[in-house]
Amino acid sequence: MVRGKRIFFLLGGALVIDGLLVIACSSDGSSSPGETPPVTASADAGTKSDAHTSGDTGTGSNTGTDSSTPTGDGGSDCGTPATLHPPKADGGIYCPYSASDGGKNLYCPTTDQCCESAKGGSPSTCVTKGSACPTASATVWECESPLDCPGMGMQCCAHGGTKASVTVQQDTCGPYLSKFDGTRCASSCGAGELVVCEAPSDCATGTCTAVKPKGNDIGVCH
């Protein structure tokens, strides 16, 4: 049997064997025509564009403080609203912060006045009307309604002491007294004073408005 001869020759850098084209790869990693390019590692391999190394360092403008947090407008701790208290049967004068040993606050007789101490200080006490209080800075409550005053037709007056005139002001918690320094009994309230009331009938003018001066609840004609 005669064996055929194989024909070899080069064609443009490619080897042709019996009419078949054999592609040879170059040594520099590039491919010849028709071959898939070799895969090479990118210069930025392993680094991602979203690697959180931009301006977001985790210490943004949100520091945990809420801008909606209530500010000092009196609305953060208003407590219970002020209410009117009709006179007790004995005509007693309520004395704030006078309780001791977990007891109830005192009601001073109408012959006495309440010397209200500051909250958290020494207990408030009852002393005879017109007497000096044990604590010079105490708020004196001679009365909380006209019935607490000794004479018929007398008025109970909210005054500012040596301060300016006592006035009714308003905030988010409701009405309150400004420049209040205590109450006194008088035939009529003077300039800069307000008539203290416990019922609408106590007011010749204005409306009996509940307020919270010091540790007490009273009404004033306003």
The structural domains of the chain, with segments of one domain joined by +, span 93-221
Give the list of residues 6+ apart from residue 74 with CB closer than 8 angstroms, or none: 171, 172, 173
User: At CA 63, angle to CA 58 and CA 69, rounded to 5?
Assistant: 155
Q: Are strands 112-116 and 139-141 parallel, antiparallel or unpaired?
A: antiparallel
**Residue 210 burial by CB count (10 A; 0-12/13-18/19+): exposed, middle or buried?**
middle
Give the list of residues 6+ apart from residue 191 with CB closer than 8 angstroms, or none: 165
Instruction: State the pTM of this model.
Output: 0.63
Q: Which among 194, 195, 200 has a CA at the least distance from the CA of 178?
A: 194
Amino acid 123 reads P
**Beta bridge mates, 72:** none
d(CA 135, CA 122): 9
CB atoms within 10 A of CB 181: 17
pLDDT per residue, tens digit, the chain (222 aa), is 445 555 544 555 555 455 554 544 444 544 445 454 544 444 444 433 333 333 333 333 333 333 333 333 333 478 888 888 766 655 689 999 999 877 899 999 999 999 999 988 899 999 999 999 999 899 999 999 998 998 888 999 999 998 789 999 999 999 999 999 999 999 999 999 999 998 888 899 999 999 999 999 999 999
Retrieve residue 30's tokens: 């590039």
